[in-house]
Structures are given as structure tokens and as C-alpha cells.
Amino acid sequence: MPGQTPLPIAFPADPAAGARVSVLHPKPRVLCLDAQGHILDWMSWQDAVCLYVRDAVVWTLGEPCITVHGGHNRASDRQSVIELHPIVAARGHAKPRALNPSPALSNPALFARDAYLCMYCGREVQRAQLTRDHVHPISRGGRDVWENVVTACLACNSRKGGRTPQQAGMPLLAVPFRPSWVEHLILSNRHILADQMSFLRSHLPRRRRPQA
Ligand SMILES: [Zn+2]
């Protein structure tokens, strides 16, 4: 694995308060893994700095993407600098049940899964017009789970009402699915760096890998 970044000197206790950051805008997030390479979650650059300072980074992937300047060491008058890498493996390993958790079903996550398209008419509509439709209606015993919800525009949702797609004569354009944790990480971050994206793509379920 690529080398570990040397520990900084005299770094302020709260990096967000005292540090000066050289970084692209908007600030990318760091992808955090456990020491075995299991994907955990996105992490803010401030939290990533804390990992470096605590000597908890065991290996990294990708070219440095954020440079953080810390305080001066009184003895040497040298300023501490940390170069954050886009993918960071932290000391320790995740508990098995913490791996690949099921992503929470929220409207932003649902709309992202469906690429902000209405799953009935196929139109891309403004966010304010997007709704969560229960394919098998709740009133008929349908559940509020990933496999039973789709993105629908207001017009299609009200037209469908409390009916199934078959009853309403409104076939679905795609079968709803529960995103894997990796898919969720891709969908929930709009500013993924190239190194992070290629790493995440290599961990996608095989059937949903983009043809590249
Ligand atoms: Zn529609």
C-alpha cells in the first residue's frame, strides 16, 4: 500500500479553528475505510485531519487532494502541514454488522436513486415537484421500503392515486431496488474525486457496474 503521510508537528487541537486549508472548492470529502479496506463512509476533511493527528491512518490511496497548514513548532519554527489523501484507511476493523448497512430511505436518497426522473412518465422535473410514490399503495398494505417506492412527479402521483400501476394503467419504467451501501455513497456525494469514483465503482454490485 502507498506510504503513510508523516505526522505533523504542533498541530492545533481543533484543526477547523486554527488550520489554513489549501483545497479545491467545494471541499471534497474523504472516503474512509477500515484497515482491511472495507468501505465505511464519507468523512469531512476536519475528521480526516483528526485521524492523521491521532496516528490512526494506516494506509492511503490516491494523490493528496487537500493540504492543511497547522501551527508552528516553537523549537524548530517549522509549520505543520498535512496532505490529506482522497481515500484513507483507519486503524482497526469494522464490526461485521457495520459493513454494507442498508441505506436509510429518505426522499433525497430516493430521488437520487431514480436520477430525478418520474418513474411513470420519465420526465425530469423540478425537485419541488418530485414525490415518493408507493407502488403498492400503503392503503392496500404496501410498505414504505426501497423495493416499494419510486420517484414520481406530482401529476403522475395524483393521477395514480391509491391504485397499483396495473390498476391505473401506468407501467413503471424501472423496477425499484434497494441501493447497496456503495451505490448510496456514490449517490449521496456530488463532488466525488476521480480516485474515489474508480475505487467505489470497482466495489459496485457486478450487475450495476457502468459499461466503461
Ligand atoms: Zn410523471
Distance 108 CA to ligand 1 centre (A): 17
8-12, 27-31, 72-76: range with lowest mean pLDDT: 8-12
Specify the CATH number of the domain 107-168.
1.10.30.50
Task: Kindly give the distance from the C-alpha atom of residue 114 to the centroid of ligand 1, in angstroms, as a whole number.
Answer: 12
**Per-residue pLDDT reduced to its tens digit, 145-157:** 999 999 999 999 9
Helix (H) / strand (E) containing 80: strand 79-84
Q: Has residue 6 got a pLDDT over 80?
A: no
Nearest to 91 by CA among 52, 152, 35, 13: 35
- Domain ranges in the chain are 1-98+189-212, 107-168
Q: Answer whether residue 42 shows pLDDT above 90.
A: yes
Q: What pTM value is reported for the model?
A: 0.75
Residue-level pLDDT at 2: 42
* Distance from residue 136's CA to the centre of ligand 1 (Å): 17
Helix (H, G, I), strand (E, B) or coil at 52: helix
Going by pLDDT thresholds of 50, 70 and 90, the confidence category of residue 19 is low
Mean of pLDDT over the chain: 85
Query: In angstroms, what is the span from residue 195 Cα to ligand 1's centroid?
Result: 36
Residue 3 has pLDDT above 50, yes or no: no
- Reported as a pLDDT band with limits 50, 70 and 90, residue 177 is very high
Least confident of 139-143, 147-151, 190-194, 195-199: 190-194
Residue 143 banded pLDDT, cuts 50, 70, 90: very high
If you measure from the C-alpha of residue 211 to the centroid of ligand 1, how many angstroms do you get, rounded to a whole number?
A: 28
Of the pLDDT bands very low, low, confident and very high (cuts 50, 70, 90), residue 56 is very high
Cα of 205 to ligand 1 centre, how many Å? 29
Cα 169 to averaged position of ligand 1 atoms, centre (Å): 13
Measured in Å, residue 158 CA sits from the centre of ligand 1 at 10
Residues in the chain: 212
Measured in angstroms, how far is the CA atom of residue 201 from the centroid of ligand 1? Answer: 30
CA–centroid distance, residue 110 to ligand 1 (Å): 15
User: Does pLDDT of 192 surpass 90?
Assistant: yes
Q: Which residue has the higher pLDDT, 11 or 84?
A: 84
The 10 Å CB-count burial string (b at 16+, else e) for 145-170 is: ebebbbbbbeebbeebeeeebeeeeb
Identify the pLDDT of residue 17. Answer: 46
Rg (CA), the chain: 22
Residue type, 69: H
Q: What pLDDT, on the 0 to 100 scale, is given for residue 204?
A: 87
Ligand 1 centre to CA of 49 (Å) is 45
Give the mean model confidence (pLDDT) for residues 70-92.
86
Q: What's the gap in Å between 160 CA and the centre of ligand 1?
A: 10
Cβ proximity of 93 and 34 under 8 Å: yes
Average pLDDT over residues 23-31: 76
